[in-house]
Amino acid sequence: MDNLQDTILQKIRDGKLTMRPRFYFTLKAAALVLVALGVLVVSIFLCNFIFFIIRINGHESLLARPGGIFLFLRFFPWGLLVIDAALIVLLEVLLKSFRFGYKSPIVYTTIAVLAVVIPLGFAIDRATDINDRVLERADHHGLPPPFGELYEHAHRPLPAEFLPENREDEIIETR
């Protein structure tokens, strides 16, 4: 180990050991930020889409019925929620690469992420007509994957036996 210093310096002098340029790290950091932002955007979109499915299929009305909470949970798009949760976990892992991320307890960063994802997802669905326009477009012109698949399967009407009395005629056919 006496010659560790010499070995390393010799490698540097021979050009076998070189420093990576600063822009390499700048690009790496920028890529990390972009990936994290991308994951955040997809996560907000999925959350918005969950609210959209609930709205367009009238699942919220189930909550007003006695025992409706069980039906609401039964028809909830759990698959999308699981994917969204996985994205939030991925986002947490990415955030831990940043100084502010690892310095904060996981519960705090998760609450911060949820405080962005859920209200934004809700606001996009309820305060804008983006989803309705995209659905209309998907119905009439088709959309490239994965949006086409998602929106074409957005209609999940309740089976007739779960509809409240006199509600069958209220189902609106959008296709």
Cβ(94)–Cβ(35) below 8 Å:
yes
Span interacting with other proteins, options 10-18, 63-71, 83-91, 126-134, rule CB under 8 A: 10-18
Of residues 14 and 173, the one with the C-beta less far from other proteins: 14
Which position has the token pair 């698949």?
Answer: 149
Compute the least distance from the CB of residue 72 to other proteins, in Å.
30
C-alpha 92: how far from chain center: 12
Residues with Cβ < 8 Å from 53, sequence gap 6 or more?
Answer: 59, 77, 80, 154, 156
> Interface with other proteins includes 85 (CB under 8 A)?
no
Compute the least distance from the CB of residue 98 to other proteins, in Å.
10
Site string for other proteins, 21-60 (x = CB under 8 A): xx-xx-----------------------------------
Binding-site size, other proteins (CB under 8 A): 25
In the DSSP assignment, the letter for residue 60 is G
Cα 86 to Cα 93: distance, rounded to the nearest angstrom: 11
> Interface with other proteins includes 18 (CB under 8 A)?
yes
Q: How far is CA 170 from CA 57, 58, 126, 157, 164, in A?
A: 11, 10, 21, 11, 10
Site for other proteins in 88-147 (CB under 8 A): 96, 102-108
> Interface with other proteins includes 5 (CB under 8 A)?
yes
What is the binding site for other proteins (CB under 8 A)? 1, 4-5, 7-9, 11-13, 17-22, 24-25, 96, 102-108
